[in-house]
Amino acid sequence: MERIKCLIIGSGPAGYTAAIYAARATLSPVVYEGLQPGGQLTTTSTVENFPGYPDGVSGDDLMNDLRTQAERFGTDIRYGTVTEVDFSKAPYIVRIDDGSEVEADTVIISTGASAKYLGLDDEKKYAGRGVSACATCDGFFYRKKVVAVVGGGDTACEEAMYLSGLASKVYLVVRKTWLRASQIMQDRVLNNPKIEVLFGCNVFGLTGDGKVQGMKVVRNAGTDSEERFEREIDGFFLAIGHKPNADVFAKWLDLDESGYIMTLDGTPKTKIPGVFAAGDVADPRYRQAITAAASGCKAAIEAERYLNEL
């Protein structure tokens, strides 16, 4: 069985940054890219808030730059998805979807989190062309335009508030007839003149020629008072939560109530020595490319220290 000093699972900003640092520390890292090489950023048309790109950069180009940098220092990047792990004792056993197994002295988990979508075909049709799951990432493109946010919790209200500072109008589409958000967030949203809350509503379609230009909404679906209408919008933001890609590790690691891997004392360390978690899979709060990259750096440094202590 192949023995690896530093195995990195996932290939987003956290995984590639961890690889850069681990490779420069002569840990000979191996990266398994997972189902979505490059991570969530590859679905983003333009990234304008990653330092070092003053004119912005496409998500694909940014991830290719990070990948090239990791390879430059000798990272072995492989296509494959981890299907099972055994963290009962070191070296840790990791099984890949091609049936192979490897042993790893250290493991950095950077499998990310997947935004939850409504499941509409139109969400895929307009991906990167008006549909987004990150207001902080993409809100800048909708200055003085009309946008919609779907969701009724704190995240949805926070995104609606953030977008109200940029857009001319924000529709907050709420499935229930009330907001689930904390009272302070409810008060802020309901008292914001730029935000119109559509209670009891579901979006069942998007329209537009090449990009989002409108949404189809149903209010009180399935009742005698059902009403269908459309609203013109330029951007459509999902804020109904994220699902961390951590299921394969759940047997061995502590997860919080939302499924994010729990780490120790503000570090990437998990409760298992030599196993680290970086990026969105362990970050329910920020979920930004730059914070993911920073945590990948930390994880690689911790992995190097762990190996040195051994």
For residue 46, the model assigns a pLDDT of: 78
CA 110 to chain centre: 11
Structure tokens at 277: 């978690």
| Active-site annotation holder among 134, 157, 201, 297 | 134
| Active-site annotation holder among 6, 105, 122, 138 | 138
Residue 134 bears catalytic tag? yes
Q: How far apart are CA 191 and CA 185, in angstroms?
A: 10
Q: How far apart are CA 263 and CA 169, in angstroms?
A: 39
> Is residue 122 within 8 Å of residue 130, measured between CB atoms?
no
Sequence-distant (≥ 6) Cβ neighbours of residue 278 within 8 angstroms: 14, 15, 18, 108, 109, 110, 268, 292, 295, 296, 298, 299
C-alpha pair distances (Å), 16 with each of 81, 104, 216: 16, 18, 39
Q: How far apart are CA 192 and CA 194, in angstroms?
A: 5
| Active-site annotation holder among 6, 137, 157, 297 | 137
> Is residue 236 within 8 Å of residue 126, measured between CB atoms?
yes
82-86 vs 76-78, strand pairing mode: unpaired
Residue spans of the chain under pLDDT 50? none
For residue 276, the model assigns a pLDDT of: 98
Structure tokens at 223: 């009742």
Q: How far apart are CA 130 and CA 219, in angstroms?
A: 23
Residue 6 bears catalytic tag? no
For residue 130, the model assigns a pLDDT of: 96
Q: pLDDT by residue (tens digit) across 214-253?
A: 999 999 999 999 999 999 999 999 999 889 999 999 999 9
Q: How far apart are CA 63 and CA 227, in angstroms?
A: 44
For residue 45, the model assigns a pLDDT of: 67
Q: How far apart are CA 299 and CA 110, in angstroms?
A: 10
Q: How far apart are CA 276 and CA 249, in angstroms?
A: 11
Q: How far apart are CA 230 and CA 248, in angstroms?
A: 41
Backbone dihedral angles phi then psi of residue 5, each to the nearest 5 degrees = -70, -45
Q: How far apart are CA 50 and CA 272, in angstroms?
A: 32
For residue 48, the model assigns a pLDDT of: 84
Residue 138 bears catalytic tag? yes
